[in-house]
Amino acid sequence: MSTASPASVERGASLRLGLPGFAAALLRALIPIAIALVVGAILLAVTGWDPISVYRLMAQEAFGDWAAWQGTLAAATPLLFCGLATAIAFRAGAFNVGVDGSFVLGGLAAAWLGAELTGLSGWLLIPLCMIAAAIVGGLWSLPAALLRTRLGVDEVVSTLMLNYVAIGLASWIVNSLLLANGSANSASDPIAPQAQLPTIGSQATMTIGLVIALVAIVLFALWSTRSSSGFELRLAGLNPRFAEATGIDVLKVLGGAMVVSGLVGGLGGGVHALGVVHRFVDGFSPGYGFTGIAVALLARNGAWGLIPAAVLFGALASAGATVQLISAIPLDIVDVLQGTITILAAAQLVGLWRRRKAAA
C-alpha cells in the first residue's frame, strides 16, 4: 500500500496538469458547466425554444456591458461568502448545510445594531455590525459542532434542521420585537445612513462587500496552503484516519471548521444587510446558503475555484431574472442549469474523493 498522503496526491495531480491553481480550478469547473449547457439546450429545443438565442440573450444580460457585470457581481457577492463558508467545513470533512441559518441570523444582528446605534460614526458602526454578524453566525453553528464532536450526531441533519429554526426565530423576532412602525411587510427599521456600505459602481447593490468577500477568499487560500493549521484542516478532511495517525485531533479540527464556517456565513449576512437590504425582512435569504453548497461543490472546496463558481451562479440569477422580464423565456431553465451543474460537480467531487482514498 502506498504511503503517500492524500495531500501529496492532489499536489501531484496539479503538477501533471501543468496549470496554476486558478486555471486548474477553472478547467475542472468547465466540465459540469458544459454538460449542463447541453442538457439545458436539449430541454429548450424540446419545448420549442432556440437554445443559441436563449443563451446569447442570457450572456448579454449577465456580461454584455458594465451595468450587466455589476448586476452579476452583486448577485455573486452573498454566494462568495456562503460558498467560502461551506468550503471551509467541507474541507474538514464536515458536511455543513446550515450556512443559510448563520447568514440569516448574522444579517438580523447587523440590521438591528445598524438601526439602534445611530449615534456612532460609520467607520466604527460598520465594523461593529459586521463583527456582531460574524459572532452570531459562529455561535449559531456551535450547537451542531458540539453535537457532532461530542455525541456523534450527523451534522447534515442537525445543520439542516437549525436552518429552519433560524428562519423561524428571525421571523418571530422581526415581527414581535423589531417590526418597524407602520410596516406591513415584516421588516425592521432601516439602518442608519452611515451604516450602509459604500458602493463601488453605478449600481447601489454592488458595494465594498464584494471586496471583503474577495479578501476573505485570498486569506483562506493563503492560510490553507501556507499554515500548519490549514494543512491539518485539509488532511483531516481528506483522510481522517491518516490525520489521526499523524497526531491531529480530527474532531477538534472538524468542530472548529464548523464554527468558522458559521462565522463566515454570518459575516456574509451582515454584508448583505448593510450593503443591499439596509434592514432585515422576512425572506432575507432566498436560499443563498444552499446555493453556496453548489458553489463549493463546483469549486471542489478550493479557494480560487469559488470565484468563477460564484460568478457563474450570480450570472444565472441576475440574467435569469432580467430575461424573464423582457421575454417569455421560462425562469425554470435557470433552475435546470443550476441543478445539473450541482449534480455533476458533486459527482466529480465523490470520484476525486474515492481516488484519493484509494491512494492513501
* Ordered domains of the chain (ranges, CATH): 6-359 (1.10.3470)
pLDDT of 263: 98
Q: The cell 443559510 sits on which residue? A: 100
What's the half-sphere exposure (Cβ side, CA atoms, 13 Å) at 29? 27
pLDDT of 28: 67
- Residue 231 burial (CB < 10 Å; 0-12/13-18/19+)? middle
What's the half-sphere exposure (Cβ side, CA atoms, 13 Å) at 25? 20
pLDDT of 239: 83
Cell of 311: 460568478
pLDDT of 2: 39
pLDDT of 123: 94
For 145-209, what is the HEC assignment? HHHHHHHCCCHHHHHHHHHHHHHHHHHHHHHHCCECCCCCCCEECCCCHHHCCCECCCCCCCECH
User: Per residue in 79-123, pLDDT tens?
Assistant: 999 999 999 999 998 989 999 999 999 999 999 999 999 999 999
pLDDT of 252: 94
CA distances from 257 to 144, 148, 223, 247 (A): 11, 12, 13, 18
pLDDT of 203: 78
Give the containing element (helix H, strand E) for 346.
Answer: helix 332-359
Which of the residues in the chain have pLDDT under 50?
1-18, 359-360
pLDDT of 344: 78
